Amino acid sequence: MGRFVVFEGGEGSGKSTQARLLAERWGALLTFEPGDTEVGRRLREILLSPETGELDERAEALLMAADRAHHVATVVNPALLRGRDVVCDRYVGSSIAYQGYGRGLDPHHVAALSAFATDGLRPDVVVLLEVPEEIAAERLAAAGKPDRMEAAGDEFHRRVAEGYRLQAAADPERWVVVDGSGSVEEVAARVVEAIEARGMGRADG
């Protein structure tokens, strides 16, 4: 089995950049949720396009879970089984933080839904990138037109951040919290150090 590393964090945390850098360093498969399959692309459009309008929060959670189920079954699991390392930009932690803490669904229900979707596949390490609210807001403002989630408001995103902190605190063996402020290179160095401290590094990496 390959190693399975997940990056989590709020909007503007820089995790997509860091996921890419780690995947390059390891020669790992880089993937993301929602939307990294053909079915997923269609689900992502419904989930994130502002044109979707109102979407019931349980329906939102189920569509995220549908994307995850298909992604795990057709991309992540086959790669891990071939011995390939996989770096995934968002996974179960996103659903618990956004649909659970953010939208207000019971986080245990959301976790159970994801456990069904993934057939129990859990990452070896989850890297949570944390940045102060002001930095995230600046990065987001520079990113252009907000999608459905980005447009959900400051209070929503504060609950998401709290949901992440609680998940990391509840499972310190799997989750590692990394300071996402500073330059891309500084953060990348922290990420590698944190992962290697868990015995997951690679001498030739």
Residue ranges in contact with ligand TYD by CB under 6 A: 11, 16, 32-34, 48, 64, 89-90, 94-95, 98-99, 149
Q: Of 32 and 175, which CB lies nearer to ligand TYD in the complex structure?
A: 32
- Going by C-alpha positions, the residue among 189, 185, 195, 80 that lies closest to residue 127 is 195
- Least distance to ligand TYD, CB of residue 95, Å: 3
Q: Of 11 and 130, which CB lies nearer to ligand TYD in the complex structure?
A: 11
Q: Of 16 and 181, which CB lies nearer to ligand TYD in the complex structure?
A: 16
Under DSSP, the state recorded for 147 is -
Q: Of 116 and 205, which CB lies nearer to ligand TYD in the complex structure?
A: 116
- Token digits for 164? 């992440």
Q: Of 58 and 201, which CB lies nearer to ligand TYD in the complex structure?
A: 58
Q: Please, where are the H alpha helices in 15-174? A: 15-26, 38-48, 57-71, 77-81, 92-95, 107-118, 133-142, 154-170
- Least distance to ligand TYD, CB of residue 64, Å: 4
- Least distance to ligand TYD, CB of residue 16, Å: 5
- Least distance to ligand TYD, CB of residue 28, Å: 18
Q: Which long-range contacts (CB under 8 A, 24 or more apart) does 145-148 make?
A: 146/50, 147/48, 147/49, 147/50, 148/47, 148/48, 148/49, 148/50, 148/52, 148/55
**Residues 26, 85: contact at Cβ < 8 Å?**
yes
- Least distance to ligand TYD, CB of residue 138, Å: 15
